[in-house]
């Protein structure tokens, strides 16, 4: 994939990029102004359409591996002419799922039949995929309708530096650049210079793959320890990103040692903070209740200690 | 004026703050969703309402000193129930005008009669006022309806670091914070830390007044040289900010040495770039054609050289 400068817009952070895309594509006065996203989905994809158009997103379910069903999408697009933007996110936050080539090709074929629709392909975790799988963008199959969203901070562990970009067809990029020019104007200068310096050095992605490899051993530690100590959770081994998203429904419906009922993933997350000092994000924030999202972008010792403490806390729950 | 953390939101740059305020206050589906601004006005205040609501701003004129007419505003607000937001900008970009206390008090009284309307008081140049005048915010007279917009880069010559803030009533700030949380998330970390360090050191504004004093001598040099060398312009001495906004209408309607007609401020600005290497912004960008905006945030030598070259270039124009 190759983009010229007029096909790229840079904004302060990928979340900000998503906002600028939504401002550009989701016109409150157009009939075609709805956003489609697949559950579990990132919170912004729920909030931004409501903020900008008053309408919630259309949320489609995924299968047991957190993968979209192409037929379901095809049916929706054939019946509904209000869709403007479809969000895909692989590697996925919160599940760590990576969409296979063949799935992306199928989705591209379906969406390609509806030329007015754009894909917002959130690929901020593109350099963090394990087990020898290569990242593929749906833009390889459908460049004219794909807006690739990327960011620097996940790739280089530069949390807090806030730089994101979008690459796609020139006409859409021109409109987004106009929005950006009237809003954030630009990314702060030190961040621009720092990343430019980095990109000139890491042309072969070597430094970024070192980060991936460090995350790989964390995933291994996390899933090994988890499978031994937290036996009543149901989960998939994440193929990318640095999140782990087990189904913890078993533990909901239990009671804490003090007798407080834990009925929701939110209550469970709070209990784990209070009793084990482990921070998770409840799945209901991603439209998938009963799950918890763990981030393993922390050191191995922290992962080991966290899981031990969590397992102890979960063992103390009673039915 | 004193604000608690829940009455302040920080965003990547004042322009971005303005955008977030407009997203929050200018609901495309509300009847009351129009923005009022005074000409000459900054470009974003024209573009953002169109982007968000499809409706242009209501632009009111100012007098010969670039000051708003309170009676005209009172008439508008009594007749028109669609106004949501009124932009005030003192010290002013592009004119350098500073609104007197008495005017702000009058405006506050008028706007205070319409409780649903907020003031977006753009005060990014608040520390750059000359001739012993103190900055006054309209929030001192109407805190419940005023959103003060400020920024760091103008105050400390930190161009490119992108940090702005808004301070105002908690309910509105909560809504803006929600928007910010779903968009930019936060200002990049090095900028936050850098400015925090600066603010802890410059509690008495001493460093910021040093910058003002340096700009003062540039204003003096600029206006002295300009009055001697560019005799057919009509202008006001700017009382604040670092802009100078002369009426250059006299030179429009002339011809370049090569016979090219100069009919607009845009053509004049282009001629000055090409023939004198002097960059200005045409007044028509601020809804005030015939003027040019000069920035004097450059060294004294550059100011002297620029005016000399410009004077030569203007002398070569023929009727």
* Structural domain spans, chain A: 5-201, 207-315
Q: Please answer yes or no on whether B183 and A16 come within 8 Å at the CB atom.
A: yes
User: E strands, chain A, where?
Assistant: 8-11, 34-38, 58-60, 83-89, 118-122, 146-151, 164-167, 243-244, 254-255, 261-262, 281-282, 292-295
B54–A19 C-beta distance less than 8 A: no
Pick the CATH number of A5-201 from 1.10.10.60, 3.40.50.300, 3.40.640.10, 3.30.70.20: 3.40.640.10
CA A41 centroid distance within chain: 7
| B191 contact residues in A (CB cutoff 8 A) | 188, 190
Q: How confident is the model at residue B154 (pLDDT cuts 50, 70, 90)?
A: confident
What percent of chain B is predicted at pLDDT more than 70?
100
pLDDT of residue B184: 84
Q: How far is CA A170 from CA A26, A116, A233, B9, B51, in A?
A: 18, 15, 46, 34, 19
State the smallest CA–CA distance between residue A188 and chain B in angstroms: 5
What's chain B's average pLDDT? 95
Interface predicted TM-score (ipTM): 0.81
Q: pLDDT tens digits, residue range B205-264?
A: 999 999 999 999 999 999 999 999 999 999 999 999 999 999 999 999 999 999 999 999
Q: Which residue of A has its CA nearest to B18?
A: A183
- With a CB cutoff of 8 Å and minimum separation 6, the contacts of A62 are A38, A39, A40, A68, A69, A97
Q: Tell me if chain A has a CB within 8 Å of the CB of B183.
A: yes
- Which residues of A fall within a CB distance of 8 Å from B153? none
pLDDT digits (tens, 9 = 90+) for B135-152: 999 999 999 999 999 998
CA–CA distance, A167 with A178 (Å, rounded to integer)? 15
Determine whether the interchain pair B15/A185 forms a contact, defined as Cβ–Cβ distance below 8 Å.
yes
* pLDDT band with cut points at 50, 70 and 90 for residue A299: very high
* Mean pLDDT in residue range A309-319: 95
Residues of B in contact with A179 (CB under 8 A): 51
Contact with chain B for residue A93, Cβ under 8 A: no
Q: Which two tokens stand for residue A309?
A: 């403490």
In this prediction, residues A103-122 reach a mean pLDDT of 98
Query: Which of B159, B178, B188 has its CB closest to that of A12?
Result: B188
The confidence score (pLDDT) of residue A117 equals 98
Mean pLDDT of all residues in B26-42? 95
A200-231 tens-digit pLDDT: 999 999 999 999 999 999 999 999 999 999 99
Q: Assess A154–B contact: CB distance below 8 Å, yes or no.
A: no
Cβ–Cβ contact A37 with B under 8 A = no
Burial-class residue A95 by CB neighbours within 10 Å (0-12, 13-18, 19+): buried
Confidence tier at A188 by pLDDT (50, 70, 90): confident
Q: Tell me the three state secondary structure of residue A160.
A: coil
Q: If pLDDT is split at 50, 70 and 90, which confidence band does A154 have?
A: confident
> Inter-chain contact A188–B15, Cβ cutoff 8 Å?
no
| Contact state of A28 with B29 under an 8 Å Cβ cutoff | yes
Query: Could you give the percent of chain B with pLDDT greater than 90?
Result: 92
Q: Is the pLDDT of residue B155 over 90?
A: no
- CB atoms B12 and A15 under 8 Å: no
Question: Is the pLDDT assigned to residue A190 strictly greater than 90?
Answer: no
Is the minimum CB–CB distance between A191 and chain B shorter than 8 Å? Answer: yes
Contact A184 B160 (CB under 8 A): no
Indicate the pLDDT class of residue B159, thresholds 50, 70 and 90: confident
Residues from chain A contacting residue B19 (CB–CB below 8 Å): 182-184
CATH of domain A207-315: 3.90.1150.10
Contacts of A51 in chain B (CB under 8 A): 23, 179, 182
The verdict on B246 touching A (C-beta cutoff 8 Å) is no
Of these ranges, A92-96, B155-159, B186-190, the one predicted with the greatest mean pLDDT is: A92-96
**Cβ of A162 and B185 within 8 Å?**
yes
Rounded Cα distance between B264 and B266, Å, is 5
Q: What does the alpha-carbon distance between residue B43 and residue B122 come to, in Å, rounded to a whole number? A: 13
Residue B251, judged by CB atoms within 10 A of its CB (0-12, 13-18, 19+), counts as buried
Chain A contacts of B52, Cβ < 8 Å? 23
Contact state of A162 with B188 under an 8 Å Cβ cutoff: yes
Q: pLDDT tens, A268-282?
A: 999 999 999 999 999
pLDDT at B157: 80
Length of chain A: 319
The alpha-carbon gap from B53 to the nearest alpha carbon of chain A, in Å, equals: 8
Beta pairing, strands B58-60 & B34-38: parallel
On whether any CB of chain B is under 8 Å from the CB of A306, the answer is no
Residue A157 contacts B where some CB pair is shorter than 8 Å? no
pLDDT-based confidence at B38, cuts 50/70/90? very high
- Taking the Cβ of residue A19 and every Cβ of chain B, the question of whether any pair is shorter than 8 Å is answered with yes
pLDDT of residue A207: 92
Contact B13 A185 (CB under 8 A): yes
B51 contacts in A (CB within 8 Å)? 23, 179, 182
**Are the beta carbons of B99 and B239 closer than 8 angstroms?**
no
Mutation for B interface: A52, A183, A285, most B CBs within 10 A: A183
Mean pLDDT, chain A, rounded, equals 95
Label residue A161 by pLDDT band (50, 70, 90).
Answer: confident
Contact at CB, A182 and B44, closer than 8 angstroms: yes
| Partner B contacted by A51 (CB < 8 A) | yes
Distance CA B183, CA B177 (A): 10
pLDDT(A56) > 90:
yes
Please name the member of A13, A54, A182 whose beta carbon is closest to the beta carbon of B29: A54
């Amino acid at each position: 994939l190759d983009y010229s400068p007029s096909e790229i817009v840079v904004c302060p952070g990928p979340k900000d990029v998503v906002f600028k895309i939504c401002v550009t594509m989701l016109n409150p006065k157009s009939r075609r102004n709805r956003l489609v996203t697949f559950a579990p989905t990132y919170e912004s994809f729920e909030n931004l359409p409501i903020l900008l158009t008053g309408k919630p997103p259309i949320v489609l379910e995924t299968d047991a591996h957190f993968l979209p069903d192409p037929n379901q999408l095809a049916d929706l697009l054939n019946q509904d002419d209000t869709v403007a933007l479809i969000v895909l996110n692989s590697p996925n936050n919160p599940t760590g799922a990576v969409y296979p080539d063949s799935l992306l090709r199928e989705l591209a074929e379906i969406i390609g039949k509806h030329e007015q629709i754009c894909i917002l392909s959130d690929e901020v975790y593109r350099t963090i995929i394990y087990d020898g799988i290569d990242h593929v963008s749906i833009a390889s199959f459908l460049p004219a309708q794909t807006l690739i969203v990327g960011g620097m901070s996940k790739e280089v562990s530069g949390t807090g530096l806030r730089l994101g970009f979008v690459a796609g067809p020139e006409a859409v990029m021109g409109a987004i650049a106009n929005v950006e020019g009237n809003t954030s104007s630009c990314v702060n200068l030190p961040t621009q210079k720092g990343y430019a310096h980095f990109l000139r050095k890491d042309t072969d992605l070597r430094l970024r793959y070192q980060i991936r490899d460090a995350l790989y051993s964390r995933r291994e530690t996390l899933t090994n320890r988890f499978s031994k100590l937290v036996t009543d959770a149901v989960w998939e081994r994440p193929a990318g990103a640095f999140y782990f998203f087990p189904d913890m429904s078993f533990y909901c419906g239990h009671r804490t040692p003090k007798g407080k009922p834990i009925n929701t993933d939110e209550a469970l997350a709070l209990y784990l903070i209070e009793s084990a000092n482990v921070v998770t994000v409840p799945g209901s924030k991603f439209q998938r209740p009963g799950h918890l999202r763990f981030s393993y972008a922390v050191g191995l010792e922290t992962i080991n200690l966290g899981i031990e403490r969590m397992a102890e806390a979960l063992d103390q729950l009673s039915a």
